[in-house]
Amino acid sequence: LQLEEELHLALSRDNGLFLTYQPILDLRNGQVVKLEALVRWQHPQLGLLPPDRFIGVAEANGFIAELDAWVLRRACQDLAILAGEGFPDLRVAVNCSALNLCRDDLVDEVKHTLQAHDIHPRRLELEVTENALMSNVNQALYLLECMRSLGLCISIDDFGTGYSSLAYLKRLPLDTLKIDRSFIMDLPGSHADMEIVQAIIGMAHTLHLQVVAEGVESREQLDFLKSHGCDFIQGYLISRPQRLDGITDFLRQQQ
């Protein structure tokens, strides 16, 4: 079988794909307030595959909508489990492929999935990359307005690596901006990155966006980000992405 056939089978049989979650920490109170869902594929021969190995395959073969729908359903199931485990306010952010932004049934799908699992829309967030938003601003604007009226929050992901126009960024109904890991990596040694990160935080706050720094691996990075007003951090310093049971253990230890 070709990789795309195996992936489609894994998806339709719900066999082999699973979600990991990475905590996002609020720097103001030191609490984990949100998790990012990151999909993985345990392939029978190839072993554990990261999304970079198969998201593109799903996109190229016409079933990325199915894959992201699977992720959404699983994330909603897990949100219900988390509430039952004593974390009713914890939120989950899921990644949304650029291709899905063009689907006119996306809003209905999100709405129905939330309803089916009895999840408050406030607990779900969509992460969309900068380029996905900017490649069709009018479409993105319409979709985000719909999502916003459902009650979802929207993040702009991998910020700084794409080609955002500030004029558009100002118009889009976004809640959160995630600074790409590449700008965080060399903090606090790189003078250029220190300036860039400060500028992004300032700009985001001017636009009334909250800021997440991605890929935080050291205490020095945390301290720098905190002292420059960054709102949230995500990265190996806090936790690697883990399966739900690992994450619930982690959350209990944090309490």
Helix, strand or coil, per DSSP, at residue 168 = helix
135 and 168 in contact (C-beta within 8 Å)? no
Binds 57, which of Na ion, ligand G, Mn ion, none (CB < 5 to 8 A, cut-off by type)?
A: none
Shortest distance, CB of residue 243 to ligand G, whole angstroms? 13
Q: Is 6 in the site for Na ion (CB under 5 A)?
A: no
134 and 165 in contact (C-beta within 8 Å)? yes
Nearest to 70, CA basis, from 24, 16, 121, 118? 16
Phi-psi region of 235 (alpha: psi -120 to 50; beta: other; left: phi over 0): left
How many residues are listed for the chain in this entry? Answer: 255
Spell out, one character per residue from 57 to 96, where the chain touches Mn ion: x when CB under 5 A holds, - when not: --------------------------------------x-
Which residue's entry shows tokens 């594929």?
41
Shortest distance, CB of residue 58 to ligand G, whole angstroms? 8
Shortest distance, CB of residue 158 to Mn ion, whole angstroms? 7
- Report DSSP state, residue 200: H
Q: What is the DSSP string of 60-112?
A: HTT-HHHHHHHHHHHHHHHHHHHHHTT-TT-EEEEE--GGGGG-TTHHHHHHH
Choose the stretch contacting Mn ion; rule: CB under 5 A; options: 84-92, 107-115, 157-165, 227-235. Answer: 157-165
CA distances from 168 to 101, 106, 173 (A): 16, 22, 10
Q: Which residues are at the interface with ligand G (CB under 6 A)? A: 22, 38-39, 50-52, 55, 68, 71, 94-95, 97, 127, 157-158, 181, 214-217, 235-236, 241
Query: What angle do the packed helices 106-116 and 64-84 form, to 10 degrees?
Result: 30
Q: Which is nearer to ligand G, 66 or 217 (CB)?
A: 217
Shortest distance, CB of residue 94 to ligand G, whole angstroms? 6
Query: What does residue 248 show for φ and ψ, rounded to 5 degrees?
Result: -65, -35
Shortest distance, CB of residue 173 to ligand G, whole angstroms? 20
Choose the stretch contacting Na ion; rule: CB under 5 A; options: 11-19, 23-31, 163-171, 212-220. Answer: 212-220
Binds 55, which of Mn ion, ligand G, Na ion, none (CB < 5 to 8 A, cut-off by type)?
A: ligand G
Q: Is 157 in the site for Mn ion (CB under 5 A)?
A: yes
Q: Is 158 in the site for Na ion (CB under 5 A)?
A: yes
Q: Is 127 in the site for Mn ion (CB under 5 A)?
A: yes
Q: Which is nearer to Mn ion, 127 or 231 (CB)?
A: 127
Q: Which is nearer to ligand G, 39 or 76 (CB)?
A: 39
Q: How many residues bind Mn ion (CB under 5 A)?
A: 3
Q: Which residues bind Na ion (CB under 5 A)?
A: 157-158, 214
